[in-house]
Amino acid sequence: MEGLVGPRQLALALAHGESFAREDFLEGPSNAAALALIDRWPDWPDRMMVLLGPEGSGKSHLAAVWAAQAGARFLSARALSGADPTAALATGALVLEDVSPSGLDERALFHLINLGREQGAYVLLTTRSAPGGWAVEIRDLGSRLRALPVVAVAAPDDAMLRALLVKLLTDRQLQVDESLVHFLVKRIERSFAAARAAVIRLDEEAMRQKRPVSRALAAELFRA
């Protein structure tokens, strides 16, 4: 018997909370090295580390776990230009989120890295591409970026993808059976972003049609 779904409210489009607690982080081979780095702090190979991974891979969750341990502040790379680096590093630990070569304020990042080194601060940079390969105009910044140790989160295997789908569905208060999850694992791209997009599409379509989220609905949406 398939498609068993518990009662749910179909009419409300509410914000869906996501826990960033350590106990709610999904562990697997794809993120084992990154999680080990967070858990071993402050015993890091370098006080400045790069956490590399695709969209939705759990970088923000890992950064939040570390920030809770280290008392780190958060700073978006997009806000670098107007940020006070002294204030950002005030606690001796900083998460610099979503660093990208696109639109990067090289001088601001160069100054932040230098100041962090001078103060002996811990800095965790999250990014989707390895900084060592960025084409930057400030040569000394390029050398500093290439010197930063990188820990990567890899694409999920089937077990991780299945667990991720269950978590995403649960976060939206959707009770689903194994047949739905198994169907999605076989139909969607093996990536964190694809899993998130699939769950959002299922939930939104279910609300639009006033139907439960089920394998039957998934079969209509993901035929290929």
Q: What is the DSSP letter of 29?
A: G
Residues 129 and 101 sit within 8 Å (Cβ to Cβ): yes
Bridge partners (DSSP) of residue 33 are none
Domains annotated for the chain, with CATH where assigned, are 22-152 (3.40.50.300), 158-221 (1.10.8)
Taking the C-alpha atoms of residue 21 and residue 76, their distance in angstroms, rounded to an integer, is 20
pTM: 0.79
Whether residue 42 has a cis bond before it, omega within 30° of 0: yes
Q: What pLDDT, on the 0 to 100 scale, is given for residue 38?
A: 96
Per-residue tens of pLDDT for the chain, all 224 residues: 333 333 333 233 334 556 778 888 888 899 999 999 999 999 999 999 999 998 888 899 999 999 999 999 999 999 999 999 999 999 999 999 999 999 999 999 999 999 999 999 999 999 999 999 999 999 999 999 999 999 999 888 899 999 999 989 998 988 778 999 999 999 999 888 899 999 999 999 999 999 999 999 999 999 75
Q: What pLDDT, on the 0 to 100 scale, is given for residue 4?
A: 36
Burial 73-107, CB ≥16 within 10 A → b, else e: bebebeebeebebeebbeebbbbbbebeeeebbbe
Q: What pLDDT, on the 0 to 100 scale, is given for residue 176?
A: 79
